[in-house]
Structure 1
């Protein structure tokens, strides 16, 4: 195995002082860290890295205390040979110092789940726990999609403790500071790992000239060519238009132009939203040849910020169902297990983001159409507070076909909303702000508290509606994430509930179900259900006087196996998403982990009307505590 030194500056390899390790006067039965590392064939690359640079001698020569103790998270040879890191194409500074803790010998039992440790690089890494396994990770690992697992714990040496890990610990790759992209070292040899950076990171890299819009676009097209035939998430492409737009975007950067937040970022849109000049079918065979005449307001907002529309993602027919399948384009598969559904109706959108085939997505949600696919694909999704985002631009609703009619894209109900799907909570907020900018009247939302730990969060995971409790495999993942939130210092109340008495949850669900299907009701029916909805909204408002957010399930089970039916509707199991959506409340889904079957599941963080910034910030924090976005096996 050849160590690729291109990723490390010479100075950053000075992790361990030869003055401290090499010269220790030890007994015959005691090895120093360096002695142990270089005597074990599993760490031959780490040994060569530490001996390869004369600067190692001078880095810690001032520290002559031979009794000093250290903790080293030692990457084994497989970690250095990991293709996910070798291909990253980005220079990482202080990487070796990011594996060392000075002055402490910490056993694996002393590593606190979700706890932070200050590394020799003066940056923090975090301990994560899943089952009996412990992991040590930096922010950069979340960006790349690898979480270092402690595979050889508690190796005792004279001057401390070594824990062998199977991936490199990575500091933050793309924020300001010494670990950011270095355009002086970038040589144009980018890899597809940049597809899995957040939209915010990709946009910054394009603005700073680290890579071009055309670079990113071509990698995305290669990814679509490789992955999409298996998952069927992207159903329409505008390659010529996207390439022209990317070249223009790069010319503007080269000319020093002032550019938008999403300048040069390729993205896809759920086929339920109208897009000018591009096929817009809503998955309905009756619209198989309909070309959009204008962009939905939320799509236009993305373009106005500089984003490049690459294509459309698959949807359930007319956005109706919980499995993404239709007679126009067929069925979409989950990249975590292609025999299973990614959910619906924004299933194509969630798969595109999860697999790096799109930087971000715009979906729609009425009864959980953003939230369920986000949960089932392991990404972030947000259903905004109703009506803060223009509820326009839907191709059709309720099976209505309005060719030639001026309102073809303005058929809407009073629950649905467009919303973002992304790989980071930071992206959700940025995209939401851009969507809100298209509202007829200015929208101002309250800011969340600076200290996330000041929030009061209720948790309601044990409720049942129509006798469907959360299944045990899912409940374990949800409970673990809540426990990690509580251990981090956030106030968690597992007994707090909105006081809906004398109304039963089943009654609320039935009203929500009918409101979710307004085209099957008379106006009198709708008015009655709306009257009851307002009573429920009042009860929610009273509850949120005392709590900042409440965590409730998304769906009670993990991603199910495919159904052959086109119109598979699991509304009877989507009680919690309907329950929240019909009340106009904001809801954010974070990636929080995998079931024992290796499938992503999640809950939704729900806030008061207008509490979108709080739920997105809370979701981001929860995700950080639990490993965040991970690349699926099929990516």
Structure 2
């Protein structure tokens, strides 16, 4: 049998249901692995081993009694430390919130508990989810399991590192400009940002209320579908969730993509490192072999994405943090102080103009999705960056800041609210994963997961980070 802790939900679930694997053994082995590997990776902020074992024992008794709840029953997972949890701290990756313990569970935590998933603990993140490196000034940086000393991506870097290093079967992240997809791509796992309003954000600390999304980081596309099945749906506690039919997101996974129209955006930007360009070219070839039709599409307003996204994020973040910035500014990391304070200088007219431009971007993407079923892009223009690195260099001699590079392909789909997923496609010569991103029109998650699953099967990416320890 494959190392137990490295198995995805889709392999574990039938064995747990049949009684061939014990949730107690699985959680125990996972906690042993966390103890051994976390000091080097720094993925976890809080480990809740005692309660995880109690939950595993309860799950085992339920399953043995015939009360199996579904594919997540007995599966260990982690939460980005931005989700409120009853009886556990929610630090938001900040010194300012070290002692904050919510009196309630976030809707995500509650629904996963109802599905039988077992919470191992809370994972590291870029402070207040505002960054792409997970170079946390208080809790320390998270290291990419593929290459120590390199970023895991952010802001959900602890989630990406935990899943990649099998310290957690899946993890929940958040995504405002790419913060699920960036670490998923950098760490070689699957990251799903559902449609805005598809998964409740109740109990999730706000960065930018009109851009924030909640979603999973998993080992496989099917695993993401399982988690989405448990989480999707209206929540009266979150005014941004919508009344929209909840489907079985695993239903189409085995359907081929013959005849699917795949859009390639001609004006998305051609600055890619050579290894990412090669992986993208190979992706197009794979899609053609699967019977897909490649169609060039254009999004005229794409050039406005950066400024629109930056203005909205900073203004909304400054608004949410306004009171804390007056009383606890010194408790914030210096980098976060500067970003948050800059939002206070954005004029109302500038914010409203950015939202107006955002509408133009949404309309342009809606027109693009009338021509194609899915849009494909590299997730990141470079495979990664070293901790502390400031710039990404390209073959044409140009450079781009790490922040701008990491969100270039991901942030458009936060502005539109459309669902997007990344999955590993290759490994760079430096030993870092390279991810490919797929996006569909809003609420087309079934189609998105179908295409991603078929690509995943064709790609057959089965490499693991070169960790020295196997538990």
Question: Normalization by structure 1: what TM-score?
Answer: 0.63
Structure number with greater Rg is 1
Deviation at 1:337, TM superposition (A): 0.4
Tell me which residue corresponds to 1:349.
159
Tell me which residue corresponds to 1:303.
113
Q: Does residue 596 of the first structure (1) align with residue 416 of the second (2)? A: no
Tell me which residue corresponds to 1:552.
377
Q: In structure 2, do the counterparts of structure 1 residues 434 and 257 end up closer, same or farther at CA, with 3 Å as the change threshold? A: closer
SS in 1 for 2:424: coil
Tell me which residue corresponds to 2:286.
484
Q: In structure 2, do the counterparts of structure 1 residues 316 and 542 end up closer, same or farther at CA, with 3 Å as the change threshold? A: same
Contact 1:281–1:395, Cα closer than 8 Å, also in 2:
no
SS in 2 for 1:246: helix
Tell me which residue corresponds to 2:305.
508
1:523-569 deviation line (CA, Å, top 9, x unaligned): 4322221112112211111111110001123221111011189xxx8
Tell me which residue corresponds to 1:571.
403
**Following TM superposition, where does structure 1 have runs of at least 4 consecutive aligned residues deviating by more than 6 angstroms?**
none
Tell me which residue corresponds to 2:67.
257
1:57-112 deviation line (CA, Å, top 9, x unaligned): xxxxxxxxxxxxxxxxxxxxxxxxxxxxxxx2xxxxxxxxxxxxxxxxxxxxxxxx
Q: Is the deviation greater in 254-263 or in 290-299?
A: 254-263
Tell me which residue corresponds to 1:80.
none
Pairing partner for 1:628 from 461, 464, 467: 461
CA distance in 2 between partners of 1:609 and 1:437 (Å): 14
Tell me which residue corresponds to 1:232.
42
Q: Does residue 323 of the first structure (1) align with residue 133 of the second (2)? A: yes
CA distance in 1 between partners of 2:160 and 2:215 (Å): 12
CA distance in 1 between partners of 2:76 and 2:451 (Å): 27
Contact 2:181–2:422, Cα closer than 8 Å, also in 1:
yes
SS in 1 for 2:371: coil
1:405-452 deviation line (CA, Å, top 9, x unaligned): xxxxxxx51011100110111111121122113534543268869442
Deviation at 1:491, TM superposition (A): 1.6
Where does the alignment leave 5 or more consecutive residues of structure 1 unmatched?
A: 1-87, 89-143, 145-192, 398-411
1:377-404 deviation line (CA, Å, top 9, x unaligned): 111001111111112222354xxxxxxx
Pairing partner for 1:421 from 217, 226, 245: 217
Pairing partner for 1:432 from 206, 228, 231: 228
1:209-265 deviation line (CA, Å, top 9, x unaligned): 011100100110111122111111112111111111111111112222243431111
CA distance in 1 between partners of 2:23 and 2:246 (Å): 32
SS in 2 for 1:452: coil
Q: In structure 2, do the counterparts of structure 1 residues 629 and 583 end up closer, same or farther at CA, with 3 Å as the change threshold? A: farther
Size of the aligned set, in residue pairs, is 420
Which of the pair has the greater relative contact order for Cα pairs under 8 Å at 6+ separation? 2
CA distance in 2 between partners of 1:239 and 1:461 (Å): 49
Tell me which residue corresponds to 2:396.
none
CA distance in 2 between partners of 1:286 and 1:461 (Å): 44
Structure with higher helix content: 2
CA distance in 2 between partners of 1:391 and 1:498 (Å): 32
Contact 2:82–2:205, Cα closer than 8 Å, also in 1:
yes
RMSD: 2.1
Contact 1:586–1:608, Cα closer than 8 Å, also in 2:
yes
Q: In structure 2, do the counterparts of structure 1 residues 499 and 218 end up closer, same or farther at CA, with 3 Å as the change threshold? A: closer
Question: Normalization by structure 2: what TM-score?
Answer: 0.85
